[in-house]
Structure 1
Amino acid sequence: MKLIIQIPCLNEEETLPQTLVDLPRQIPGIDKVEILIIDDGSSDRTVEVARRFGVHHIVRNGTNRGLARSFSRGIEEALRQGADIIVNTDGDNQYRGADIAKLVAPIVAGEADIVIGDRQTQAIAHFSRGKKLLQRLGSYAVSTLAGTRVPDAVSGFRAISREAAIKTNIVSPFSYTIETVLQAGRRKMTIRSVPVATNAKTRESRLFTNIPNFVTRQLKTLLQMYVMYSPLRAFSSLGLVLALVGIAPILRFVWFYATGDGSGHLQSLVLGGVLCVMAFIAFTAGLLADVVSRNRQLLELTLEKVRRLELALDEPDSEPAPLPEEGDTPPPVALRAKG
């Protein structure tokens, strides 16, 4: 069984050495451990440091594409290199490498498709009260929508089986953490969480500039993913709220009309009628969006089949060759069918 540890990096020259030194080279149940670096357009010596420390695979983005797209590109490359399990960790040495064995154990035992490291944020000293509260509320919301329990939904320290990785499609440009959980829940994958330890803080997060910015972007991602995967429920809920609010002024008008004082309350009837029309439009939009969602599910199944065919034809070389930078013309590849 082959494990590839992928590390998305952006200007991690200072922290990457300690991260790499901390990674385990031997894990129970794993025959081979390799390391993959996804350089997201770094302007420092991140790539040189990775090569000096003997990283097996390096993928380079010509420009900064963001964490979600770097994570997705890393998954694709890890699959191409024959990974049976993929572990994602950060280049800032936030997570302890020794806990990777705990992450992969449920997958090795066949008990989980995805394992997420629970940082137990309530015990992290440098997390403020507000950040701890937001983390709990966010994880609760994600767990509810995904239909599973994930105590630390935004943790980037996670292990993914090969089968789960093939079925994963990241479309969010911001972060992959929430989307992968919602996808896994919708596709009935088994998600487990294991407690992990964290190291001392080495730098400020580059994913967001402040807490309000982070909350806004995560809420936007959560809403987009929920509407994408459950459009009928989302629009029906909106339509139900509009309908209930619209009925109230209509009933008010009916009451006054029945008591002989309806002439001065026509605005209630107009307002209620407008809200009820909006509710009907929301219900109709939900039906149309559900049809589009079913079509997208078919496209996802098609993409999964194409990915499986590509992986079956594209066997990894015994000696990994340096990968071209994004935008370079790749060398011709001879495809051969497996007998």
Structure 2
Amino acid sequence: MRQQALLYIVIPAKNEEEAIGEVIRNVPRSFFPGLTVKVLVVDDGSTDGTVDVSLAAGADEIYTMPINTGLGAAVRAGLREAYERGADYAVMIDADNEYPAEQIPELVAPLLAGEADYVMGSRFMGTIKGMKWHRRLGNYLFTALQMILLRRFISDGQSGMRAFNRAALADLEIIHDYNYAQVMTLNLVRKGYRMKEIPIRYQVRTTGRSFIRFVPYVTKVLSAVWREMRRPVSPRQPDS
């Protein structure tokens, strides 16, 4: 890592005024020498006080989507903005406070050490509190599908807490707007980026409402996985 480096924490959000403030306040700001941490909230068409709460809690920057476009599109836009604003590293974390922002230093440690290009926080390697059985089963099934397609072990292919180095940010493609979880990993690993998982503590959201509905989720995700696997991929490119 160069002497001064920039880490962006990207938080996609839609109507998360009840939870996002705590997520932002829990982001560690000083944990590695020479690393500057900035929080970028991607507002995906919120109609509540998400933006005001984010700024009051300490968000450094807000990127506003022109209309509500979906989680995949919000993540794609946020990571692109982080790259264009000079990020050497980026973390994406959900705004609903299910994922432990205080574990961000552990998530980025393999990147800072040059051991990985892409890191996922694994709930199944860590602890899971309150996840319903059908959600857990769905996670197992979609993770198993990724393992079959990539021919490698993955413990949690649906995680909403991930980190990237600059090379991975530059080359990442998310091909659909609805979600990102499966195609992101397929895209980066197929291109040759080094992936690592670290255990995290997880608790089910206590505020707001999840966008996931079983039938549309399965239909859209399987379609996106099919499209991703049919696309030719180029080997990873060195960062300029």
TM-score > 0.5, shorter chain as reference: yes
* Separation of aligned partners in 2, 1:96 and 1:51: 20
| 1:189 maps onto 2:193 in alignment | yes
Please identify which structure carries the higher helix content: 1
From 47, 70, 76, the counterpart of 2:74: 70
Match of 2:10 among 6, 20, 29: 6
User: Structure 1 residue 29: deviation in Å?
Assistant: 5.0
Q: Does structure 1 residue 227 correspond to structure 2 residue 230?
A: yes
Q: Provide the residue aligned with 1:243 in structure 2.
A: none
TM normalised by structure 1 equals: 0.64
Instruction: Find the counterpart in structure 1 of residue 217 from structure 2.
Output: 214
Q: Deviations over 1:19-45 (max 9, x none)?
A: 111111112355211100100011111
Deviation at 1:7, TM superposition (A): 0.2
Alignment partner, residue 120 of structure 1: 124
What does the per-residue CA deviation read over 1:15-71, in whole Å, with 9 as the maximum and x for residues that have no partner? 111111111111235521110010001111111122222311110012101111111
Alignment of 1:1-339 (within 5 A): 1-28=5-32, 31-120=35-124, 124-203=128-207, 205-209=209-213, 211-229=214-232, 297=234
1:151-187 deviations in whole A, cap 9, x for unaligned?
1111120001111000112221211111111111211
Superposed CA deviations along residues 122-155 of structure 1, whole A, max 9, x for unmatched, are 9534223332222112112112212332211111
One-letter code aligned to 2:206: T
Q: Structure 1 198/140 Cα, relative in aligned 2: closer, same or farther at 3 Å? A: same
RMSD: 2.3
1:172-207 per-residue CA deviation (whole Å, 9 max, x = no partner) reads 121111111111121111000000002352236533
With the length of structure 2 as denominator, give the TM-score of the two structures: 0.89
Contact 2:45 2:68 (8 Å CA) reproduced: yes
Distance between the aligned counterparts of 1:154 and 1:201, measured in 2? 15
Shift of the 58–189 alpha-carbon distance from structure 1 to 2, 3 Å rule, reads same
- In the alignment, the residues of structure 1 paired with residue 135 and residue 198 of structure 2 have an alpha-carbon distance, to the nearest angstrom, of 21
Moved over 4 A (4+): none
The structural deviation recorded for 1:224 is 2.1
C-alpha contact 1:146 1:181 (8 A) present in aligned 2: no
Name the CA shift for 1:128/1:214 in 2 (closer, same or farther; >3 Å): same
Specify the code of the residue in structure 2 equivalent to 1:38.
V
- Cα distance, 1:154–1:29 mapped onto 2, change above 3 Å: farther
* Larger relative strand fraction: 2
Alignment check: 8 A CA contact 2:146 2:186 kept: yes
1:11 and 1:31 map into 2 onto residues whose CA distance is: 30
In structure 2, stretches of 5+ residues that fail to align are: none
Secondary structure class of the residue paired with 1:124: strand
Q: CA separation of 1:159/1:29 partners in 2, compared to 1, >3 Å: closer, same or farther?
A: farther
Count of residues paired in the alignment = 236
Answer with 1 or 2: which has the greater Rg.
1
Aligned partners of 1:29 and 1:108 also within 8 Å: no
| Residue aligned with 1:163, SS | helix
Of all paired residues, the percent bearing the same amino acid is: 29
Higher relative contact order (CA 8 A, sep 6+): 2
Cα 1:189–1:12 change in 2 (3 A) is same
* Letter in structure 1 aligned against 2:147: S
Residue 73 of structure 1 deviates from its aligned partner by: 0.8
